[in-house]
């Protein structure tokens, strides 16, 4: 069974940092691209960051570019999101998500973690 489990969320002050983790199991982790998607309270889904299976290529939404960094450890089957210079508008549930297959392009997400809540407030 494919499983994704996020951790690392919490309350942080504006300007602070947080590192999210997503532990993966049940599939060949290094084969699949992964993403982080967030959802602000009562709002819609927003794609945040993506990384290829090898970790060699990353991409970030303009709203987080220069502040967030996605990375992965394929030996530990873990995805990370380093979040710096956090703002109130970054408050959201952060989901890690696995793409459906290994085809090239912007593949959809067939598996999502349960999410971890990040609250940015003083």
29/94 with CB nearer another protein: 94
Provide φ and ψ at 77, rounded to 5°. 50, 50
66/108 with CB nearer another protein: 108
Distance CA 1, CA 52 (A): 22
Distance CA 27, CA 31 (A): 9
> Cβ of residue 36: shortest distance to another protein, in angstroms?
11
88/100 with CB nearer another protein: 100
> Cβ of residue 118: shortest distance to another protein, in angstroms?
16
> Cβ of residue 65: shortest distance to another protein, in angstroms?
10
- Going from the C-alpha of 49 to that of each of 26, 67, 84, 115, 121, the distances in angstroms are 22, 11, 14, 15, 22
45/82 with CB nearer another protein: 45
Residues of the shown chain interacting with another protein in the complex, contacts defined by CB under 8 A: 35, 37, 44-47, 50, 59, 61-62, 95, 100, 105-106, 108-110, 112-115
Token output for 122: 């003083």
């Amino acid at each position: 069974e494919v499983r994704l489990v996020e951790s690392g969320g919490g309350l942080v002050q504006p300007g602070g940092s947080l590192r999210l983790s997503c532990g993966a199991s049940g599939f060949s982790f290094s084969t699949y691209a992964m993403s982080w998607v967030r959802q602000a309270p009562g709002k819609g889904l927003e794609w945040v960051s993506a990384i290829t299976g090898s970790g060699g290529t990353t991409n970030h939404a303009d709203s987080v570019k220069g502040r967030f960094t996605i990375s992965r450890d394929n030996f530990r089957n873990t995805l990370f999101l380093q979040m710096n210079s956090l703002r109130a508008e970054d408050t959201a549930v952060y989901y890690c998500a696995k793409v459906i297959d290994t085809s090239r392009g912007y593949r959809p997400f067939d598996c999502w973690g349960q999410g971890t809540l990040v609250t940015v407030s003083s």
